[in-house]
Chains A and B, each alone.
Chain A
Amino acid sequence: MTSLTSEHTMRTGVATKLKSHGGLIALGLILVFNIIVTPNFLHTQTLAVNISQVATIAIVAMGMTLVIATGGIDLSVGAVMALSGALAPLIFMSEFGQAYPVLGLIGALFFPLVAALLCGLFNGVIVAVLRVQPIIATLILFISGRGIAQVLTNGNLQTFSYPEFSYLGTGKILGFPFQGWLALAIACFLFWVVNRTVFGRYLLAIGGNERAAKLAGGPVRRVKIGAYVICSILSGLAGLIVVAINSASDAARNGNLMELDAIAAAVVGGALLQGGKAPIFGAILGAVIIQLVKYTLLANGVEDEVALIAKAAIILAAVYIQQARKE
């Protein structure tokens, strides 16, 4: 009898551990697999390439995590990336930007983020004040945001050579890509916000039980709007980074399907779709896993298309485990 019980606890103990650290275990497996199979995997260049690619996904995924924590979702992140990415070259390549390069550079970093902020405000107000479902509310900008970007650029590819701006995507600090450090800094800041500020407390409370949070006198509307605004600003930043990496802005492709990657990364990282949890570093873990799976398949000559199917399988597995844990 006793042995049975202890065996049972042991087994559930292992199962719980497996579930709560599933992401880390998956990451470990992918790393071990790569070290054995993929040629030149343990190379600083491989690391740098992966960091520069994962940073944008991670930055957007952290914003998405905040939105998901309120029980919402933001489909417009890719469109916001396209919009801010289209605005930046328009500003520093304008006559004013050419005449005053410093002001042009500041403007090219500032105004796209303001535009992103306004997008977030738009989403947040529709969700929190008009009480429209998040999928639909953010669908509006998903559809029209990229359209606005394309109207602004007339659908043209904007190419430029502007080292100061491109630093955002190609610069290196201590040998690692600048945007990697940026993502890390944002993660530390958001971790502090979620765990140590009133805003963060209410964020989790709203996702846990919105009505209770409201009855407790919480500023539900403002916190919700705040989550969408942060998510949009981070998306705008990611859009700038993508443009900086490519030294070109293509409104049709910038951030295309990013909403899927970001949602997948957030969910793999442990964000509950019902809300109430905001694992910021989990989002980074999720982004790293998704990036590494993509890289592993590509580096071993597997087609891009199959990588899509692998991504689908990862998302399903992550959520299935999540559901099992809840029950």
Chain B
Amino acid sequence: MNMTLTHPALKLEIKKDPQGGKILLFLSGHFSAKTAGGVWQESTTLLHATQPRELVLDVSGLTYCDMTGIGLIRELKAFQGSLKAGFQILGLRPDQQTLFDLVNRRSAQPVISKPIARPGFIEELGRTTAHIGEDIYGQIAFVGEVISQMLHALRHPATVRWKDVWVFIEKGGANAMPLIIMAGFLIGVIMAFQSALPLKQMGSDVFVANVVAFAVLRELGPLITAIILAGRTGSAIAAEIGTMKINEEVNALTTMGLEPVRFLVVSRMLGILFLAPLLTILSDFFGMLGGALVFQSFGYSATTYVNQVTSTVDLGDVLGGIFKSIPFALAIGGIGCLRGLQTKTGASAVGESTTSSVVTGMVMIIILDGVISAIYYALGI
């Protein structure tokens, strides 16, 4: 029985000996990774199906044979070996023989890569618990370290790298202004339109100004600013410190005797603490402006708007809103730095840290906002 399988440049001829269970494979042509696909499939399937007592591989027709070819020869030989069946190779050129020997010398056994066994449920549970425990421990230790370093910086302002602080304020603050202005303005506009609908039904659309003032100054201004900071600045901190970590720059700082927390974290924390209230004021201002624009389109004067606003909110509301940005800033900056420093190795780890910094940052902002609102309510602010 004769069969032929052709593939561009590589040819496989199969001869079966009907009685003896012997198979002869004749390979000819150019054997490389590019040409080997069909022949590899064909010959291994054939062996698995027939399990011959002896396999004779004639490679004298090969014009070129690279490592892929040697790999197939090895694979066939190993398969025959595993069945304790015969294997014979004919026509291996001396240079191919050297290569084949080289491969066989390296390891007597063929390499069959096994996937790593998946851990069981109990193991997974234990690992996760330990991981969460480590994470909490790390966060507590980090908060402690940051507080102590920040206090140190307050007592010795000369030790702070002010140049870094200003660079950070420029990148994270000045460059964020257009976005903050746009978001703040639109929030004011949106609040005005949304509240106008129900208020108009009651014929009291003059109170749109009160709603906008109350919502923007107490809640939305600081919140939108914090969310933009978390997405824009917190993630940048995590990515930058994370990249430094995988490039061993953090290790370099440590061995130079420079405390990474002092060197990297303090300047960023000071920067974000400085710019968060300023950006909140900016967002508040443009939010009110957006509200005013819509309010005027309803036919009211600017004076009415100011009167309505001042009758609803006082300085305490404005300051209360701005004050909220400080805990937000601490959370965003701290989490960004922590996630950056926790970065493991590899490029994907930086991505994970960045994502984690934004997610944890958002969660912390919402929790803090809830806590602060409860406190304000209790204090009557």
State whether these chains interact.
Answer: no
Mark B residues whose CB is within 8 Å of A: none
